[in-house]
Amino acid sequence: MKILLNGKLYNRDEAVCSVMDHGLLYGISVFETLRLYDGFPFLYKDHYLRLSSALVELGVKCPFTDEDFIEMIQFTAYSNELNQAYIRVTVTAGIEELGIPYGEYHSPQVIVMATPLKQTRSNKKGLIPLNVPRNTPEGYQRYKASFINNRIGKRELGNQPHMEGLFLTREGYIAEGIVSNIFFVKSGILHTPSLETGILPGVTRKFVMALARKLGIPFQEGLYKLEELETSEEVFITNSVQEIVPISFIQNRIWDKHPLSSFLHGEYKKYVYDLNSYRNI
């Protein structure tokens, strides 16, 4: 694997960061994961916006524009001879002395990785409620940064690739999956947990809601207890790599039909190769 580090390509074992990087010392770093379709990083502007907004909150100078963002991604994928890929872009605070500064970080480090897709969309998954609750965001909203809560949830779930763990808030409201957002259908209405629950504002979540609006599918964001999910007509999860995945069971409830998620996924796939998809919906 070739990795793009601060604009230069390195072999995997040669791409190294300083032990004085505040991304390592204090966890001051953010990242985005997205999917490359025939060389095109789908919804890259939305990913860029979320990343750059996180950097503003952390006081880290964003070192690239949205045009630079797509160029870095495509160059890294091309250098690895990949046309379909899983992309990760990480920005760390950069090298500083010990101690958390009150001012801005002006020398962030940028790491871009492109790897083959080991797994694309699953036909369906099971959903397992986790005992560990979803923690609240450390800032005003959740960004793709610290994954400690996700790590604890993943350890609880264990090695079950066809399962997704479901976080509830401390108040018992449905939050999100370990690496996904949650949707369910009840009385013909599409529902998804509100950002008030502290979930990640997923790029695919946002796109699915926009797609539902365009298609005239009624939807609501809200605070929902687990019982709402268990008595729903259909459940599915979303993320940028796996797209839209139906949920086949949760606890004692089984779903064998997924008409809306199948329909939405078919509509979703119409946009993934369209350079203007983010403008057309």
Residue type, position 117, single letter: L
* 37 vs 35: CA distance, rounded Å: 6
The tens digit of pLDDT for each residue in 16-42 reads 999 999 999 999 999 999 999 999 999
Q: For residue 82, what is the domain's CATH number?
A: 3.30.470.10
Q: Are residues 150 and 262 in the same domain?
A: yes
Beta carbons of 219 and 244 less than 8 angstroms apart: no
The rounded distance, in Å, linking the Cα atoms of 281 and 277 is 7
pLDDT in tens, 155-195: 999 999 899 999 999 999 999 999 999 999 999 999 999 99
**94 and 144: one domain?**
no
Tens of pLDDT, residues 196-238: 999 999 999 999 999 999 999 999 999 999 999 999 999 999 9
CB 126 within 8 A of CB 180: no
How many structural domains compose the chain? 2
Whether residue 132 sits in one domain with residue 253:
yes
Quick one: pLDDT at residue 123?
82
- Of 48, 81, 115, the residue at which a domain comes to its end is 115
**Residues 150 and 111 both lie in one domain:** no
What range defines the domain where residue 109 resides?
A: 2-115
Specify if 255 maps to a domain: yes
Amino acid (1-letter code) at residue 47:
H
Is the domain of 87 the same as that of 186? Answer: no
Q: Is residue 277 part of a domain?
A: no
CA distance 170 to 210: 29
